[in-house]
C-alpha cells in the first residue's frame, strides 16, 4: 500500500510541473493525476485534485463537443487504448480554431498498467506554418516575375547589343552598356537566390563539409586563387543552401582578396570558418557587411553576403566576421550541428 501511495504521489507531483496538459489514468480508466494546464486547455470547471478518481471515459465524452469531429476524438482514444501502442502528436482541430496534439504512452506503475496522455496546444505553430507557406508563395510569385517577365526583354536587349558590338566592336558606349547589362543579370540572379533561399530549412541532411567546399570551388571563377581545406566535419544542413553560402563566401574572398589570394576553410567546435589572406574588411564595416546592397567593390551586386546571412538564419546558426591571422577576412559560422568529425 505504501509503494502504491508513494508512486502515485510522485506521479502527481511531476505532472503538476509539466508545461503540457497531462492526464494519467489506471487500467480501469480512473484518473490518477492531471495538471492545471490540462484544466486550462479544456476549460474544465474542476481543479486537478478534484478530477482525481473521475472516470476518464466520461471526461472524454464531456469535452468531445469542443472538437470539430467529436466522434473522431473519442474513437481515437478508444482505439489507442485497445492496442496500447505509443502514439505521437495526433492532431485534432477544435471548433474555436485551436489545434491540439494528443500523444499517448503506455507504462506500468507498481500497482499495475497505466496510461499517460499528453496534450499540446499547437495553434501558434500551425499559424506560423501557414504564414511561412503564404510568404513562400509570394516569394515564388516574385521569383517567377523576375525570372520570366524581366529576363525576357533583357535577353532581347542583350541580343541586339551583341549584334551592334559585332559591327562596332570598338564603340566604348556599347561596351559600357554591355557591362551594365551583365551587372543587371547578376543582380537578377542574386535576387532570385535571395527569394528562393529565404525559407526555413525543413529537412536537413547529412553532408560532408570538405566535399561540398571542393565542389563549390569548382563552380566559382577562381583565377590564380588557391584553396586550403582543413576540416573533417560532417554536419546536418540543407546542402543546396550551404552550397550557396560557401560559393558566395569564396567569391567574396576572391573578388576582394586580390590576385593569388588563398581561401581557407576549417573546423570550429560547433561550426566552421572561411577565411582568406587578402586585404581584409575594415573593422568599421563589420556591422554592416551583411546589409543588402553592401559591397566594397564597384563590380559587386551587394547581395552575396545577404544570401550568406539568409542561409545562416534559415538554419538557426550564427555568423560573425573578424580578421584572419594574415590580416584578411574571416567568417565564422557557429551553432552548427556537427554529426561527426575526426579532426
* Percent above pLDDT 70 for the chain: 85
Q: How far apart are the first and last CA of the chain?
A: 56
Q: What is the CATH number of domain 2-121?
A: 3.30.450.20
How many C-beta atoms lie closer than 10 Å to residue 146's C-beta? 16
Q: What is the pLDDT of residue 221?
A: 84
Cβ atoms 91, 101 nearer than 8 A: yes
CA–CA dist 196, 190 (Å, integer): 10
At residue 114's C-alpha, the angle toward residues 112 and 116, to 5°, is: 160
CA–CA dist 105, 201 (Å, integer): 30
Cβ atoms 42, 69 nearer than 8 A: no
Cross-strand bridge partners of residue 62: none
Q: pLDDT band for position 336 (50/70/90)?
A: very high
Assigned C-alpha cell, 176? 559600357
pLDDT mean over 104-109: 88
- Tell me the pLDDT tens digit for each residue of 195-231: 665 566 767 899 999 999 999 998 888 889 999 999 9
Query: What class, spelled out in words, does domain 124-199 have in CATH?
Result: mainly alpha
- Tell me the pLDDT tens digit for each residue of 9-45: 655 666 676 789 999 999 999 999 899 999 999 999 9
pLDDT mean over 279-297: 66
Q: What is the pLDDT of residue 178?
A: 85
Domain boundaries, the chain: 2-121, 124-199, 201-343
Global pTM value: 0.51
What is the full DSSP assignment across 200-268? --SS-EEEEHHHHHHHHHHHS--TT-EEEEE---EEEE-HHHHHHHHHHHHHHHHHHH-TT-EEEEEEE
How many C-beta atoms lie closer than 10 Å to residue 336's C-beta? 22
Assigned C-alpha cell, 256? 576582394
On the question of pLDDT at 278 being above 90, the answer is no
State the burial class of residue 19 (Cβ atoms within 10 Å of its Cβ: 0-12, 13-18, 19+): exposed
CA–CA dist 76, 82 (Å, integer): 10
How many C-beta atoms lie closer than 10 Å to residue 342's C-beta? 6
Cβ atoms 76, 100 nearer than 8 A: no
Q: What is the pLDDT of residue 1?
A: 44
Query: What class, spelled out in words, does domain 201-343 have in CATH?
Result: alpha beta
At residue 186's C-alpha, the angle toward residues 216 and 133, to 5°, is: 80
Amino acid at each position: 500500500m505504501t509503494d502504491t501511495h508513494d508512486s502515485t504521489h510522485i506521479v502527481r507531483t511531476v505532472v503538476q510541473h509539466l508545461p503540457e496538459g497531462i492526464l494519467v489514468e489506471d487500467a480501469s480508466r480512473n484518473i490518477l493525476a492531471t495538471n492545471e494546464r490540462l484544466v486550462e486547455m479544456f476549460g474544465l470547471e474542476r481543479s486537478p485534485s478534484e478530477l482525481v478518481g473521475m472516470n476518464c471515459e466520461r471526461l472524454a465524452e464531456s469535452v468531445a463537443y469542443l472538437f470539430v469531429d467529436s466522434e473522431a476524438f473519442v474513437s481515437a482514444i478508444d482505439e489507442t487504448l485497445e492496442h496500447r501502442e505509443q502514439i505521437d502528436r495526433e492532431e485534432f482541430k477544435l471548433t474555436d480554431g485551436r489545434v491540439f496534439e494528443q500523444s499517448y504512452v503506455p507504462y506500468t506503475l507498481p500497482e499495475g498498467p497505466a496510461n499517460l496522455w499528453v496534450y499540446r496546444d499547437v495553434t501558434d505553430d500551425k499559424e506560423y506554418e501557414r504564414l511561412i507557406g503564404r510568404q513562400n508563395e509570394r516569394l515564388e510569385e516574385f521569383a517567377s516575375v523576375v525570372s520570366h517577365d524581366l529576363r525576357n526583354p533583357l535577353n532581347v536587349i542583350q541580343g541586339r547589343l551583341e549584334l551592334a558590338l559585332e559591327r562596332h566592336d570598338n564603340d566604348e558606349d556599347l561596351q559600357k552598356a554591355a557591362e551594365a547589362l551583365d551587372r543587371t543579370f547578376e543582380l537578377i540572379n542574386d535576387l532570385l537566390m535571395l527569394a528562393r533561399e529565404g525559407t526555413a530549412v525543413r529537412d536537413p541532411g547529412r553532408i560532408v563539409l570538405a566535399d561540398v567546399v571542393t565542389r563549390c570551388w569548382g563552380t566559382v571563377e577562381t583565377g590564380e586563387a588557391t584553396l586550403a581545406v582543413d576540416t573533417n566535419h560532417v554536419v546536418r544542413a540543407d546542402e543546396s543552401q550551404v552550397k550557396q553560402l560557401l560559393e558566395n563566401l569564396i567569391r567574396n574572398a576572391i573578388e576582394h582578396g586580390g590576385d593569388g589570394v588563398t581561401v581557407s576553410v576549417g573546423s570550429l567546435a560547433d561550426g566552421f570558418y572561411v577565411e582568406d589572406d587578402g586585404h581584409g574588411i575594415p573593422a568599421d564595416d563589420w556591422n554592416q557587411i551583411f546589409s543588402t546592397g553592401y559591397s566594397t567593390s564597384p563590380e559587386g551586386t551587394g547581395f552575396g553576403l545577404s544570401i550568406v546571412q539568409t542561409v545562416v538564419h534559415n538554419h538557426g546558426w550564427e555568423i560573425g566576421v573578424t580578421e584572419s591571422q594574415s590580416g584578411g577576412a574571416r567568417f565564422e559560422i557557429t551553432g552548427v550541428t556537427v554529426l561527426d568529425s575526426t579532426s
